Structure 1
Amino acid sequence: MAPPSWQGHAAAAVLSAFLLVIAPYAAAIGVNYGTKGDNLPPPAKVASFLANRTRIDRVKLFDTNADMVRAFAGTGIALTVTAANGDIPKLATKDGAAAWVSANVAPYYPATDISLVAVGNEIMATADKTLINSLVPAMRALKAALVAAGFPKIRVSTPHSLGVLSVSEPPSASRFRDGFDRAVFAPMLEFHRQTGSPFMVNPYPYFGYNGGTLAYALARPGAVGVADPGTGITYTSMFEAQLDAVFSAMKRLGFGDVEIAVGETGWPSKAEDGQAGVSAAEAAEYNRYLIGEAAGGSGTPLMPKRTFETYIFSLFNENLKPGPVAERNFGLFEADLTPVYDAGLMKDGAKAAAEPAPAATLTSAGSGAPEPAKARNGGKAAKKHVTEAAAPAETDASAPAETPASAPAPSSSEDAASPMATGPSPSGVAPAEGDSTDDEKTPKSLTNVVMSNAFRFVDETTGQDGDGAEGSTEKKADTSPAPAGAASAAADILVPISSILTAALSLALHI
């Protein structure tokens, strides 16, 4: 066979360049829409903006707010709605599940494309025996109710923090927490297999990085990786290591074929003064990587060629969220719909609206290694640390108090719907100042990446962790890496796809 001509190489190069540009938009990317702000635009305006100005084609709500669900009717955006934690015991009954579907799905579907119902949020982290024992029965009953109502395409899942893993390092040795593995996760994963629904997790590299692992958390090219002696794989992306740890735990139970979805992940654009690794540049860098990862189809080392339904946290910077500064700055957009930074999600390719806020400016920072992080406790006074280590108990006859439905106010039923209220859950706590600096040179293990997610804040009055439905960075961001900055230049050259397509076709015609 004759060697390929230079024309063939040129055509291949042009096609590759074209695919690289369109890759971030070739698959679905979602966003978590939280409402803990007193200055947020009305749902109808938000839905119209997302549908007409962005490439976001799926949205995850932390409740079933009627105004929000209705706003997405006819937009073509797939919606995930969340059943409140307090509803779970009733959802575990046939009548309760049917009533919930009648009230929260039937009035809106299919005009609003409700794609998935999340049964609570991070239930395993609540340490509430009644909720935990009712979780899988509620998922089954709710799916049966959806089918009976004529909505068989709507999937059912429930988001988990990475604290559901008892062993997480290396990823190949990962396993679910003892007791829960067979009692909860095996039947849950069987449900996912039978119904074709994804096992949903909330991985946050942000909560696992320290002064020496920023590049690894951001998956920067050339980052010092973490070796897995069980497979010989060296991970250069904390996000991929987290997903593979979840996969290994699932495979250990015989469910490696079940799909995984990313319910929440993100990076803040602002944090405490002096915290390294947090700026609009790093946030853009992480989310651009995430979009490419979700859409590229390359998968992870243990899950090659898989794509992951992924929801970025979060849509807005929410000014009423308590806790550390980062808690209020995970948003892709300001309340006026101005992009906080360019994540590559705007249809017009614009990096920002007419006059972006100062925080949206992307700059190149110094490349010096940041100082190790300083651990902080940013939770509310009424919260306490708990673990998910307790073995499952007999179903408690008493169900938790029902959470009233939320009004379409700025702060919706985030507190009721799940342990995570408008924000993420910690994937790790960086070492405090004065701790050993060994990790500043090479990330030696994944313990700080996954295991500290087992520690959650639980509201002593409600039994819920975090602030309710939405993920709460307050719980996850018990860290504040100190000065020095390894911010990266996240801006890149944007070329209209139409121009590249024209060039590709032109070259093809001349070859």
Structure 2
Amino acid sequence: MPNPFHLLLLLFLRLSTAATTNTIGVNYGTVADNLPPPSTVATFLKSQTTINHIKLYDANPDILRAFANTGISVTVTAANGDIPSLSKLPSAKSWITTNILPYHPKTIFNRIAVGNEIIATSDKNLIAHLLPAMEALQKALTLSNLTHIQVSTPHSLGILSSSEPPSAGAFRRGYDVTIFAPILDFHRRTKSPFMVNPYPFFGFDPTRPETLNYALFKPNGGVFDKMTGLNYTNMFDAQMDAVFTAMKKLGYDDVELVVAETGWPSAGDPNQPGVGIENAVSYNGNLIKHVNSGKGTPLMPNRTFETYIFSLFNENLKPTVSERNYGLFKPNLAPVYDVGVFTQQDVLL
């Protein structure tokens, strides 16, 4: 007869695993010519991992069909080049008709990302049409009774004019009031998140080795912010709090933050600082534990951020060695390394 204590322990392990699946997602990029079929990917993620959110860089119909009835929620992306036309309601309605309605409700849509890092493109036409496109897509979703699907757009940390220390966080001058305040007002009105792509990998200083441990969540002396009296033990928190401070300065600190992309390459060019499997394991593994702990950041305590790791696969058609090696998995579904996203298997206790 099974020991009741052991049965309770096994149940606890299952519940613990389930409890950590609500926050960690993965970016499913497809810039490769050797990836498995989307149906294989969907089955793998559902049956063998705790990942239950994916983010796409398009609205690939094969992927959307593959994730039907999986329970895995999907964020789709409207291409940068489509933004000017999507600022008109008829085009926005057509986009929803083509890319959402044929797959709903079997495929769970979480969010539409309107472009990717548009401000970083410095394309004045795209920037001018970004918010109108978001507004039009939101209106089109409402007209289709799909108000549960959110609309947002991911931003690089280049949107900040300063970020160190976190209390100095501010949006770029000239963009703060004219671009970001209206976007943040949209998020407040629609209860949608402000999406950012923090990458400590690009923030550490190779000439200062101590900053690498700070970026990797490893033991370090920390960074003290004199303005707030807070000490930062990792760069991820500092970057998130810099964004939060910029939002607060405009009066929008109540808007939710979502981490649309973050990651660390497991390989790179010879002598490229910081790359490697050990550091990728440290960053992504510690990030997942940190996010799932619910600890939040010094300025945003007790918060759990929906976070998308970049990326699901190593993508062999990316332009540089490091860009080709951000994946958690190889194209054959073997892990590049394990950061704790596999489903816990039943064990004999």
TM-score, normalising length: structure 1: 0.63
Q: 1:208 offset after TM fit, Å? A: 1.3
Runs of 4 or more off by more than 3 Å in structure 1?
21-24, 274-277, 496-499
Conserved 8 A contact 1:23-1:295: no
Conserved 8 A contact 2:244-2:253: yes
2:103 corresponds to: 108
1:347 aligns with 2:343: yes
Conserved 8 A contact 2:166-2:242: yes
Secondary structure in structure 1 of the residue aligned to 2:210: coil
TM-score, normalising length: structure 2: 0.92
Distance 1:278 1:22 in 2: 29
Letter of the 1:269 partner, please give it. S
Conserved 8 A contact 2:21-2:52: no
Q: 1:232 offset after TM fit, Å? A: 1.2
Secondary structure in structure 2 of the residue aligned to 1:172: helix
Q: 1:245 offset after TM fit, Å? A: 0.2
Secondary structure in structure 2 of the residue aligned to 1:244: helix
Q: 1:281 offset after TM fit, Å? A: 2.0
Distance 2:202 2:244 in 1: 20
1:257 to 254, 274, 290: 254
Q: 1:229 offset after TM fit, Å? A: 1.1
1:336 corresponds to: 332
Q: 1:342 offset after TM fit, Å? A: 0.9
Conserved 8 A contact 2:217-2:287: no
* Bigger-Rg structure (1/2): 1
1:227 corresponds to: 224
Conserved 8 A contact 1:268-1:326: yes
Secondary structure in structure 1 of the residue aligned to 2:26: strand
1:462 corresponds to: none
2:172 corresponds to: 177
> What is the aligned length?
336
Q: Per-residue CA shift, 1:233-292, capped at 9, x if unaligned? A: 121100000000000000000000100000000011111223453322221111111112
Q: More displaced, 270-279 or 114-123?
A: 270-279
1:33 corresponds to: 28
Letter of the 2:323 partner, please give it. E
Distance 1:114 1:83 in 2: 13
Conserved 8 A contact 2:84-2:129: yes
Q: 1:309 offset after TM fit, Å? A: 0.7
Distance 1:158 1:104, change over 3 A: same
Structure 1 or 2: larger helix share? 2
2:126 corresponds to: 131
1:161 to 156, 167, 170: 156
Q: Per-residue CA shift, 1:284-334, capped at 9, x if unaligned? A: 1111111122221110000001111100000001111112x1111100000
Q: How does 1:179-328 map to 2 (within 5 A)?
A: 179-209=174-204, 210=206, 211-220=209-218, 222-323=219-320, 325-328=321-324
Distance 1:498 1:203 in 2: 41
Letter of the 2:326 partner, please give it. F
Which 5+ residue runs of structure 1 have no aligned equivalent? 1-13, 350-495, 500-511
Conserved 8 A contact 2:55-2:74: yes
Of structures 1 and 2, the one with the larger relative CO (CA 8 A, separation 6+) is 1
Distance 1:50 1:341, change over 3 A: same
Distance 1:164 1:107 in 2: 35
Distance 1:275 1:212 in 2: 17
Indicate the percent of aligned positions where both proteins have the same amino acid. 57
Q: 1:103 offset after TM fit, Å? A: 0.9
1:146 to 138, 141, 145: 141
Distance 2:294 2:240 in 1: 14
Conserved 8 A contact 2:21-2:51: no
Distance 1:498 1:102, change over 3 A: farther
Secondary structure in structure 2 of the residue aligned to 1:269: coil
